[in-house]
Amino acid sequence: MKIPSQFLRAMLLPIAASAVMTAAAADPMLSGPSAVSMGERVEFRGANFVPNTLVNVVVIDPKGGQQKQMVSVPDGGIFSQEVIVNSDGGYEIKATDESGKVLTAVRFSVTP
């Protein structure tokens, strides 16, 4: 029994489209330098975030102090966030959703 090609295309096209959409969805990420000098302005970039949503960017300094900034993610899912570091040591930047769930994080160090 031969299956008509139109039937096969109709059955396989939604499966192929779904696979492409699943493969294209990447996890949110933050990127930036791994080491900077104290007092320097540092820019970190967020990518693969859901467009038109709010993301909390939390900067945690070496003593555990936190600075929070709400960022509105534009179309395209990419944003930039500038950080000024005033003390040396290890820092962490987290991006969280509105409920506080950590979406991604990155660490960097500051030297005097």
> DSSP readout, 5-72?
HHHHHHHHHHHHHHHHHHHH-PPPEEE--SEEETT-EEEEEEESPPTT-EEEEEEE-TTS-EEEEEEE
Bridge-based pairing of strands 102-111 and 35-37 is: parallel
CATH of the domain at 42: 2.60.40.1930
How many distinct structural domains can be found in the chain? 1
What is the reported pLDDT for 37? 95
Range of the domain at 103: 26-111
Q: Quick count: other Cβ atoms within 10 Å of Cβ 91?
A: 19
Residue 41 lies inside a defined structural domain of this protein: yes
Distance CA 95, CA 93 (A): 7
Chunked into runs of 10 residues, the chain (112 residues) has average pLDDT values of 56 49 75 94 96 96 95 96 92 95 96 92
pLDDT of residue 4: 59
The answer as to whether 48 is a domain residue is yes
Give the number of residues written for the chain. Answer: 112
Cα–Cα dist 10/15, whole Å: 9
